[in-house]
């Protein structure tokens, strides 16, 4: 304030005192002062907290997750499986793309074959893994994870998720791509994670039903199951033996079992026949349990209204005897007497390969859940919670199995929630604070002209 302004203010003050003007109320002045002091402290604190929240959401947690999870080894050297899996698969706002995300418990598709899928560690950390594509622009096969979580197979190409290397060599990959056309179905890994079976059709004269690719780069052609009949493959009975089914009867009443072991010239029949239903199925799939003791058959019929496959029907069998085992009850038990001939358990959805948990099948369509639900309440059968923000619902687990201890990570869940609905609320809050601060600074400026405010000094100097 200049000396002229000070002199003018003092003269006005003297004039007010001479006229007997009443000064402002002391309580109101103290209240206004307190409000100003609170505003000058709270507003910067709120803004600083909001900025800190945004910075924390961007940089924490950061980096490519390097999960080290103990694996259980059997007597066969090299045979291992993960002993933990994520209880929740959240979707972070930002993910790095890498060729070596380390040990991986699950893969989530990204909504397009040209986009890297999401690799989920046993602790739930998410990154994206760059996988090679078909050399000839063909649609990529769905990825399949090895039981030890180290390898992923897509088509005839295997990727080491620890080192970021691929096998076979690029020249061999080009040769195999030119020779084989794999379907969209995921491949089948052997229990020891040493090789994977790709059910593919060879170009030219039909003489093979697929190829086995080893993690050491070796390839082995799999002979035709039987003539020109189309087989339904179920996976590995053990580390060296594949199992397939031939549909030779009305509906699904005669499914003959065929097996093939590495090095054998042809498939063999053990006179094992599975009989399920007389209804014709538009699609039949088979999946062996990780220990090879149970065989899950799934079938689907076309919805007459939508002309789409929208529901899955399932039944368990013994692959070595062909006996029907029934489906799990809510307590997890198998009681074949509870199931009539040709009956099945059903659930909504079709397209995702089921998985296994504690020796029982689990559903991966529209959520990862099992059949065991003692409480009967909806949601209590959920085994893995998958964020709805992922484009595709199908999750591929290591070895098609949830094995070991579920690992929770609430920090990742809250980070997703912050970005899903916390940031919009934060933006509205910041906008409201900015409007409030501007209004306090310019209060009344647009409604009335400036006027002389009463002075708080009651006696002149």
Mind listing the pLDDT tens digit for each residue in 138-184? 567 788 999 999 999 988 889 999 999 999 888 888 888 777 777 77
At 111-130, the pLDDT tens digits run 766 789 999 999 999 999 99
The packing angle between helices 26-59 and 423-441, to 10°, is 150
- Per-domain boundaries in the chain: 3-60+418-441, 80-408
Residue with tokens 């103990």: 70
- In 3D space, the residue among 106, 123, 118 whose CA is nearest the CA of residue 402 turns out to be 106
CA atoms within 13 A on the CB side of 187: 33
**3-state SS, residue 27:** helix
- Of 100, 66, 104, which is closest to residue 85 (Cα–Cα)? 104
355 or 434: which leads in pLDDT: 355
Average of per-residue pLDDT across 334-357: 89
DSSP H/E element including 170 = helix 170-179
Give yes or no for a cis peptide into 66 (omega within 30° of 0). no
**How many beta carbons lie within 10 A of that of residue 414, not counting itself?**
13
Rounded to whole angstroms, the Cα distance separating 86 from 154 reads 23
Architecture of domain 80-408: 7 Propeller (2.130)
Phi/psi zone of residue 126: left (φ > 0), alpha (ψ -120 to 50 degrees), beta?
A: beta
Predicted confidence at residue 42, as pLDDT, reads: 64
pLDDT of residue 394: 84
pLDDT 10s digits, 287-319: 999 999 999 999 987 777 777 777 889 999 999
* Triad 221, 223, 225: Cα angle to 5°: 145
Q: What is the per-residue DSSP string for 104-169? A: -SEEE--SSTTSPPEEE-TT--EEEE-----TT-PPPPPPEE-TTSSEEEETTEEEETTT--EES-
pLDDT at 444 over 60: no
Sign of the torsion formed by the C-alpha atoms of 151, 154, 155 and 159: negative
Distance (Å, whole) CA 305 – CA 349: 15
- Examine the pLDDT at 62 and tell me if it is beyond 60: no
Between residues 357 and 433, the one the model is more confident about: 357
Each residue of 245-302: pLDDT tens digit? 999 888 888 999 999 999 999 999 989 999 998 787 768 999 999 999 999 999 987 7
Q: What are phi and psi of 253, to 5 degrees?
A: -85, -15
- Rounded to two decimals, the pTM is 0.76
d(CA 446, CA 147): 71
Cβ neighbours for 433, distance < 8 A, ≥ 6 positions apart: 43, 46, 47
Residues contacting residue 304 through CB under 8 Å, at least 6 positions apart = none
Confidence at residue 32, expressed as pLDDT on a 0 to 100 scale: 64
Which stretch of DSSP H or E encloses residue 439?
Answer: helix 423-441
* pLDDT attached to residue 255: 94
In the predicted structure, residue 6 carries a pLDDT above the cut 50: yes
Q: 3-class DSSP state for residue 172?
A: helix
Residue 396: the pLDDT is 92
pLDDT digits (tens, 9 = 90+) for 199-245: 887 766 677 888 999 999 999 999 999 877 889 999 999 999 999 99
Q: What mean pLDDT do residues 63-87 have? A: 55
What does each C-alpha distance from 253 to 297, 327, 345 come to in angstroms? 12, 18, 17
- The predicted pLDDT at position 82 comes to 85
Spatial separation of the C-alpha atoms in residues 439 and 452, rounded to whole Å = 20
**Residue 202: which H helix or E strand, with range?**
strand 201-202
Is residue 355 pLDDT above 80, yes or no? yes
Would you say residue 351 has pLDDT above 90? Answer: no
Please list, in sequence order, all residues whose beta carbon lies within 8 angstroms of the beta carbon of residue 37, skipping any fewer than 6 positions away.
none
**Cα 199 to Cα 181, 241, 257, distances in angstroms:** 9, 14, 17
**Structure-token pair, residue 103:** 């040990």
Rg of the Cα atoms in the chain: 34
Structure confidence at residue 45 as a pLDDT band (50, 70, 90): low
Return the H-helix or E-strand segment holding 246: strand 241-247
Residue 422: pLDDT over 90: no
Please give the residue that has the higher pLDDT: either 29 or 102: 102
Q: Which residue would you say has higher pLDDT here, 40 or 223?
A: 223
* The dihedral sign for the CA sequence 53, 57, 58, 64: positive
Average pLDDT over residues 13-42: 65
């Amino acid at each position: 304030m200049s000396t002229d302004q000070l002199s003018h203010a003092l003269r006005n003050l003297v004039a007010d005192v001479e006229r007997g003007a009443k000064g402002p109320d002391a309580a109101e002045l103290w209240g206004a002062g307190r409000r100003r002091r609170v505003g000058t402290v709270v507003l910067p604190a709120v803004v600083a907290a909001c900025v800190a929240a945004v910075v924390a959401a961007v940089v924490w947690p950061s980096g490519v997750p390097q999960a080290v999870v103990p694996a259980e080894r059997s007597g066969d050297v090299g045979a291992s499986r993960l002993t933990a899996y994520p209880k929740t698969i959240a979707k972070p706002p930002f993910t790095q793309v890498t060729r070596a995300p380390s040990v991986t418990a699950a893969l989530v598709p990204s909504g397009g074959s040209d986009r890297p899928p999401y690799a989920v560690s046993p602790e739930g950390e998410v990154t994206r893994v760059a996988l090679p594509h078909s050399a000839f622009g063909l649609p990529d096969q769905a990825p399949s994870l090895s039981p030890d979580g180290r390898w992923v197979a897509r088509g005839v190409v295997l990727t080491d998720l620890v080192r970021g290397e691929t096998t076979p060599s690029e020249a061999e990959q080009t040769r195999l791509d030119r020779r084989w056309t794999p379907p969209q179905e995921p491949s089948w890994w052997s229990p020891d994670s040493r090789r994977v079976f790709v059910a593919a059709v060879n170009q030219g004269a039909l003489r093979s039903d697929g190829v086995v690719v080893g993690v050491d780069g070796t390839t082995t052609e799999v002979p035709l199951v039987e003539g020109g009949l189309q087989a339904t493959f179920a996976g590995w009975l053990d580390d060296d033996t594949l199992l397939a089914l031939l549909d030779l009867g009305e509906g699904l009443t005669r499914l003959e079992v065929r097996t093939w072991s590495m090095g054998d010239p042809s498939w063999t029949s053990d006179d094992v026949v599975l009989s399920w239903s007389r209804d014709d199925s538009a699609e039949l799939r088979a999946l062996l349990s990780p220990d090879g003791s149970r065989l899950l058959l799934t079938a689907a019929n076309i919805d007459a209204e939508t002309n789409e496959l929208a529901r899955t029907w399932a039944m368990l069998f013994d692959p070595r005897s062909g006996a029907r085992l029934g489906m799990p009850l809510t307590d997890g038990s198998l009681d074949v007497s509870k199931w009539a001939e040709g009956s099945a358990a059903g659930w909504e959805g079709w397209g995702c390969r089921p998985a296994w948990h504690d020796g029982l099948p689990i559903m991966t369509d529209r959520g990862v859940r099992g059949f065991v639900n003692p409480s009967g309440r909806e949601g209590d059968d959920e085994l893995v919670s998958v964020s709805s923000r992922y484009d595709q619902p199908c999750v591929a687990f290591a070895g098609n199995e949830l094995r070991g201890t579920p690992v929770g990570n609430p920090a990742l869940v809250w980070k997703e929630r912050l970005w899903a609905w916390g940031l919009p609320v934060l933006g509205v809050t910041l906008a409201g604070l900015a409007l409030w601060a501007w209004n306090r600074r310019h209060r009344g400026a647009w409604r009335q002209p400036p006027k002389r405010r009463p002075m708080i000094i009651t006696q002149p100097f």
